[in-house]
Amino acid sequence: MTSAHRIWKLHKYSSIALIPLIIYLLIIILRFSSLSYEQILIEISGAWSIFFILIFTILGIFHMNTGINEIIDDYIHDPKIYKIFKFLISSFFTGISLFVCLSILMILL
């Protein structure tokens, strides 16, 4: 199995796992809209919520990263622009990971 084939398979597996997680996220957003700040804070600092956020972040970032890199590989052929986009994408996802960790720490402390 080539590296590209393995990444494609993992991308597909991550999309299978993300479908119920995204549906759950949308349900949570609807539920939180009727709660007060204190209630949201209690709910979100629970073990299940933290576990959900972490799993969602790991799978989501993997899925988004492989998907966007595939688009870049398909449509950007200039080596310089290609490198710039690759750098921007990796910076974006590194930033997202850091901010999620920071948010969890601030919620828990």
Partner 1 sequence: MNSPLSPHLQIYRWQTTSLLSILHRISGVVSSLGSVVIIIYLLSIGLGEDTFNFVISLSDNLLIRTLLIGLTFCTFFYLASSARHLLWDYGYCLDLNVAKMTGWAALSFAVFFTIFFWLKLYGVI
Binding test (CB under 8 A) with partner 1, winner from 2, 3, 29, 47: 29
Q: Could you give the angle at which helices 37-44 and 47-75 cross, rounded to 10 degrees?
A: 80
* Host H or E run for residue 33: none
Phi and psi for 46 in degrees, rounded to 5? -70, 160
Question: Is 75 a binder of partner 1 (CB under 8 A)?
Answer: yes
User: Chain centroid to CA 77: how far?
Assistant: 27
Question: Is 94 a binder of partner 1 (CB under 8 A)?
Answer: no
Residue 2 burial (C-beta neighbours within 10 Å; 0-12, 13-18, 19+): exposed
Question: Is 60 a binder of partner 1 (CB under 8 A)?
Answer: yes
Question: Is 47 a binder of partner 1 (CB under 8 A)?
Answer: no
Interface residue list for partner 1 (CB under 8 A): 12, 15-16, 18-19, 22-23, 25-26, 29-30, 33-34, 37-38, 40-41, 44, 53, 60, 64, 67-68, 71, 73-75, 77, 79, 82, 96, 99-100, 102-107
